[in-house]
Amino acid sequence: MADKPQFKPFIRPDESVAEFTLKAVVLGVILSAVLTAANVYLGLMAGMTVCASIPAAVISMGILRGILKRGTILENNMVQTMSSAGESIAAGIIFTIPALVIAGIWSEYKFWPTFLVGVLGGVLGILFMIPLRRALIVEEKELTYPEGVACAEILETGQKGGTGVKYLFGAIGFGVVYALLRDFGVLAGKLATAFRIKKAVFSFGSYTSTALLAVGYIIGPNIAILVFVGGLITWFVAVPIYMAVTNDIAVVKMLAAPTSESIMKAADTIWRQYIRYMGVGAMVIGGFWSIWRMRRSILAGLAEVARSFRGKKGTGDLKRTEKDMPMSLVMPLLGIVAVTIFFLYWHFTGAIFTALICAAAMIVAGFFFVAVSSYITGLVGSSNNPVSGMILFTLLFASGLLLLFGVTGQAGILAALIVAGVVCCAACAAGDMSQDLKTGHLVGATPAKMQIGQIIGVVVASAVTAPVLMLLHKSRGIGVEASAAHPMPLEAPQAGIFSDLTKAVFKYDVPWMMLTMGAAFAVALIILDEIARIRKSSFRLHVMPVAIGIYLPFALTVPILIGGIIRGVFGRKISGAANRGILIASGLIAGEAITGIIVAAVTFIGITTGALKNFFGAVVFIMAAALLAVFAKPKADDTTADNQDSQADSEKE
């Protein structure tokens, strides 16, 4: 019987290629900080983050191979590994920590608790993934890890001479220009209006955001349509019906005014105070359903974990491409993380025994969700990883545990959200690390070096996230109502949901009617989706995107829908268009998000509008000059052609 052909990575295990170098680490740290900030902005605005691996890989190739003229595929892989950590930690933190400010527990964002939640959760997720790597990434053929494979293809293509850097940087430039024009009032950031039929109010509009358009393109038509449907249900069914029957005095007074602004404010009040709890109810059911639906995969993943522990080899007889961080380093690190988590929980609960129980329970839950997260991202990709469902499960479990031990009120809300934040960061980091490890496996990277690089990326991302949250909350407002001070606040939908749910649990003030309606709607969607699955329909009715659409302002869902439709109509027609589209979309997001953060920073430190215009005028001028210099620089082919032309002219004379 013939042996199975052995897998051959792009770089052979016996080859010695530069990988964990100073330039790769420095570039990885810079890109981790930048992409973390961009994903914090995007996640707070739209409730979604985007995979940072592909844009990071393209930027790395553009700098190392394009500008510095030196850089190996393994160095580029190290850069994208460190950079993508930013996206995962950004998601873990912004889904939970802003809930503390929205709930009124914190008056402002605090650096050290936010930093510790990100670092402890992220490092915990990475350490737990180390014993799982071989079983899940290498041996389990059912797990494809689609983003990891796509990133490996881009790295290999770049090594052979082709990159998409021009599409990415062109889109970043466009995103920067758009954001500057919007923030200086040249372009409208939002189009909105409202009308009423008797007491029923219909409010609609759209943000004119290139980043939201790009999000729609990246998530594709199915998810984009579902988010939009959630918005339709809220703003064209639930809000009008509720307003037609309400006797709320404040709303009645607002409706008495004939202006469109007053009507929109009335609709917004009803949505914020009542209707969006439907989204909370739908998300709770959707989260539990996601975990139940994946139960066989979860059990299979845990079985793989057990098998990996039983069959674990030492590192001495392993090839370079199979060497993980040694257990002599992993176990002490795990002990330090566990003890620090205990002290963090003790600080916020004020009870040593409660903190001990919570720390033990959450570390066990963290390992469980790390295995679940890795297995599910391997099956269906990071975009479909039910992290929100895992957080909801953790949040409710932690809340019940804290109530059982007598931790109530604001102390209970604070402790529950901090507990959930650590587990959320662990699950997000594990899902991201799994995709990176798959990329590394295909290109021939060293797992141990990637794991160290990911830990560095987690620390950088955690340090960046808190200041960015402070800036954005001060300048834009996070999870607040629109006002003269904050005309276009960032909605932070997941954090808002977790804030509402935790407050309801600890204050014994659960809005059962709206939660029940949302839950019933989610059950109906699940039944319809199961019918679609049985019929093998390509269009699915997932609960989570609809729940997010219910919770988001309608104006946010419109550009997401348009981007999804563009992907559906044009993204599949031309070979290579999908990859170009993803790069352009990533660039649009990065350009708008980074500019938004810079504007927030200069506003925060008190620079006046006139000075701001002068500053950005100079920046744009310098960018134009640099662009001209780069493209005007003669290439070798141009010089050869000029010499041939000169020689031809001489012969004519």
- Is residue 526, in this structure, part of any structural domain at all? yes
Q: How far is CA 210 from the centre of its chain?
A: 17
Residue 141 is predicted with a pLDDT of 72
Number of domains in the chain: 1
For residue 522, which amino acid is it?
A
Residues 469-491 have a mean pLDDT of 84
Residue 137 is predicted with a pLDDT of 85
CB 77 within 8 A of CB 440: yes
- Is residue 623, in this structure, part of any structural domain at all? no
* Full DSSP string of 546-606: HHHHHHS-HHHHHHHHHHHHHHHHHTTTSTTHHHHHHHHHHHHHHHHHHHHHHHHHHHHTT
Q: Under 8 Å CB-to-CB from 180, ≥6 apart: which residues?
A: 595, 599, 616, 620
Rounded to 5°, the CA angle 504-506-510 comes to 25
d(C-alpha 325, C-alpha 93), whole Å: 26
> Which span out of 61-70, 121-130, 240-249, 506-515 was modeled with the highest average pLDDT?
121-130
pLDDT (tens digit, 9 = 90+) per residue, 340-358? 999 999 998 888 998 999 8
Q: Taking the CA atoms of the chain, what radius of gyration do you get in angstroms?
A: 26
d(C-alpha 86, C-alpha 465), whole Å: 9
* Nearest to 422, CA basis, from 347, 338, 491, 533: 338
Which residues constitute the domain of residue 215? 16-310+334-604
- Is residue 1, in this structure, part of any structural domain at all? no
- Is residue 646, in this structure, part of any structural domain at all? no
d(C-alpha 417, C-alpha 399), whole Å: 9
CB 84 within 8 A of CB 436: yes
Per-residue b or e along 559-574, where b marks 16 or more CB atoms closer than 10 Å to that residue's CB = bbbbbbbbbbeebeee
Residue 2 is predicted with a pLDDT of 46
Residue 470 is predicted with a pLDDT of 92
Model confidence at 523, in pLDDT bands (50, 70, 90)? very high
Residues 235-246 have a mean pLDDT of 83
- Is residue 541, in this structure, part of any structural domain at all? yes
d(C-alpha 300, C-alpha 392), whole Å: 23
Residue 223 is predicted with a pLDDT of 84
| Mean pLDDT estimate for the chain | 81
CB 440 within 8 A of CB 73: no
- Is residue 649, in this structure, part of any structural domain at all? no
- Is residue 318, in this structure, part of any structural domain at all? no
d(C-alpha 136, C-alpha 595), whole Å: 39
* Nearest to 114, CA basis, from 515, 579, 627, 467: 467
Model confidence at 252, in pLDDT bands (50, 70, 90)? low
pLDDT at position 639 over 60: no
pLDDT at position 45 over 50: yes
* Nearest to 337, CA basis, from 448, 435, 425, 469: 425
Residues 564-590 have a mean pLDDT of 74
338 vs 598: which has the higher pLDDT? 338
Tokens 């509008």 belong to residue: 609
Residue 308 is predicted with a pLDDT of 55
Model confidence at 1, in pLDDT bands (50, 70, 90)? very low
pLDDT (tens digit, 9 = 90+) per residue, 426-454? 988 998 899 899 999 999 999 999 999 99
d(C-alpha 165, C-alpha 61), whole Å: 8
d(C-alpha 610, C-alpha 508), whole Å: 50
- Is residue 107, in this structure, part of any structural domain at all? yes
Model confidence at 624, in pLDDT bands (50, 70, 90)? low
pLDDT at position 56 over 60: yes
pLDDT at position 28 over 50: yes
Residues 79-97 have a mean pLDDT of 89
Secondary-structure breakdown of the chain: helix, strand, coil percentages, each rounded to the nearest 5: 75, 5, 20
Residues 490-516 have a mean pLDDT of 83
Output the six-digit token pair for 633. 């620089």
Model confidence at 59, in pLDDT bands (50, 70, 90)? confident
Sign of the CA dihedral 216, 221, 225, 226? Answer: negative
Q: How are beta strands 200-207 and 190-197 bridged, if at all?
A: antiparallel
For residue 652, count CB atoms less than 10 angstroms from its CB and return exposed for 0-12, middle for 13-18, buried for 19 or more. exposed
Residue 4 is predicted with a pLDDT of 53
pLDDT at position 117 over 90: yes
CB 61 within 8 A of CB 165: yes
CB 42 within 8 A of CB 50: yes
Angle, in degrees to the nearest 10, between helices 387-404 and 352-380: 160
- pTM for this predicted structure: 0.77
pLDDT (tens digit, 9 = 90+) per residue, 286-295? 777 876 776 7
Dihedral over alpha carbons 473, 474, 475, 476 (to 10 degrees): 30
